[in-house]
Structure 1
Amino acid sequence: MIRDIIEIVAITVLVFIVLHFTIQSYNGDGITMQPGLAKNEYVMVNKVAYKFKAPERGDVIVFNNPHDTTKVFIKRIIGLPGDTVTLDNTHVSVNGTQLTESYVKTPFNPEGKSVKVPANQYFVVDDNRQTTDDSRIYNWGYVPKDFIIGKAVLSFWPLNHVHFINTYPDVYAHIKTK
């Protein structure tokens, strides 16, 4: 009987350790990712997703704010290292290809600009473009790869909002990589 208890405790500890280092939940407390994620939705974050492959355009990531690492944000990647992202009032283009972003609540870009994403950094935006706390603002900047916690893959709470998080690969499929 003692052997069984030791096995159960060992298996429980092993499962806890594996889960702790591979997944994490995150509470999206704002409206920045509406309509895809609602206020106070909890998402499951895959913390090992980028250990074996690089982040891709369309991925929704959870990351530490580059200017205040005590804050954690959730945004969508639209620009990879080396990409040229061009913004006008209502459109976004990546490497000369205009995006048709069906997931955006209301197209809006406060500043028209064109930027080249630096090495090992990512251009991230909100799906609710009326909010402006993302890479579109000059003083906000890019997200360094080392600040990415993981890829948001599943909304699991509240239960009536359970769904996999869509990365919209068809939106980004025609972009030429530089």
Structure 2
Amino acid sequence: MNLQALLGNFALILFILTLATGVVWFLDVFYLSKQRRARADAALAEYDARNARLAADGVPQDTNGRSAIAARLLRQPTWVEYSGSFFPVILLVFVLRSFLFEPFKIPSSSMVPTLQIGDLILVNKFTYGIRLPVVNKKIIEINQPQRGDVMVFKYPKDTSLDYIKRVVGVAGDKVVYRNKKLSINGKDVEYKQLPDYLDEESLTYSKQFEENLNGVAHKILNDQRAPSYVPNPDAFPRKELCTYNSEGFACTVPAGHYFMMGDNRDNSLDSRYWGFVPDEYIVGKAFFVWMNLGNLKRIGSFR
């Protein structure tokens, strides 16, 4: 793993920090603190014996030195003190982030209008099963991703990157996208036209629809200027399960995989271009916007 990939893998960094501070904490509790205590006891015994001899000779005793000796010898080294202080905090963050909820920031417009650039979202890490951190291996099965879910996953072309898209096809589904309309297993997805969507940055309008996918109603955008076909799809694994033409594409989703698309349909690099998402690349289910510094009204559930 190169340095850039390592820095991009926050879970691995957090795991290493948890392990390192935890080892120091346990070492101090079960070994180093006992050594300091033994050295302090020996020094204090020697100090008390010397004072006893001085008292027998009528020499005044030093009454302040005992506490200073104990404090000096029992004091934790700086590296042990900091490790012990940070370990519980890092451990708590590691457990929460690895098994319960993980925060993400939306970096692009591929999920507009559902998610906006700058949205800070929470991702449920356990709803699709309990996975070991770092290696992302599922150890407990709970639920499977369903059509309509907004899911975070490892980008198949570079697993150091996390992507977020909507699940439109699960294993065995035949996903057809012709003239910018979806059908799943031969059944057309329901659409309801909405007022055009204004992009306030570019001051351009897109066609906006409410799409009902597996009972999940959500908004999507279509850019009428963009072609219906998929330009230059990659040579991704199992590409033979897909066919492309001037009107769009058709793909059959293989076992253990998912077909993902962005809600901003003509401005999203997704499974149409780079292929299917394996189950082992799943990170979790996105479900809540907890902050957007540019628009506090964005806070809340987006389903």
TM interval, short-chain normalised: 0.7 to 0.9
- 2: distance between equivalents of 1:70 and 1:92? 30
Counterpart of 2:160 in structure 1 is 70
In the alignment, the residues of structure 2 paired with residue 10 and residue 63 of structure 1 have an alpha-carbon distance, to the nearest angstrom, of 29
Equivalent residue letter for 1:60: V
Distance 1:99 1:134 in 2: 19
Question: Aligned-pair distance for 1:97?
Answer: 1.2
| Count of matched residue positions in the alignment of Structure 1 and Structure 2 | 156
CA drift of 1:121 comes to 0.3
CA offset at residue 87 of structure 1? 1.0
Q: Structure 1 residue 110 and structure 2 residue 229: aligned?
A: yes
Deviation at 1:13, TM superposition (A): 7.4
Per-residue CA distance 1:34-61 (angstroms, 9 max, x = gap) = 0011111111000111010100000000
RMSD: 2.1
Match of 1:134 among 266, 270, 273: 270
Gaps of 5+ in 2: 1-85, 130-141, 192-209, 211-218, 231-247
Structure having the larger proportion of residues in helix: 2
Deviations 1:74-123 (A, max 9, x none): 00001000000011122110011111251111177433121110000000
Is 2:19 the counterpart of 1:19? no
Higher relative CO (CA 8 A, sep ≥ 6), structure 1 or 2?
Answer: 1
Task: Give aligned-pair identity as a percent.
Answer: 34
| Equivalent residue number for residue 301 of structure 2 | 164
Aligned mates of 1:13, 1:25 — CA distance in 2: 16
The one-letter amino acid paired with 1:22 is L
Which runs of at least 4 in structure 1 moved beyond 2 Å after TM superposition?
9-18, 107-111
2: CA distance, partners of 1:43 / 1:130: 23
Q: Which runs of 5+ in 1 are unaligned?
A: 1-8, 167-178
Tell me which amino acid in the other structure corresponds to 1:110.
Y
What residue number does 1:30 align with?
108
Whole-Å separation in 1 of the counterparts to 2:87 and 2:252: 50
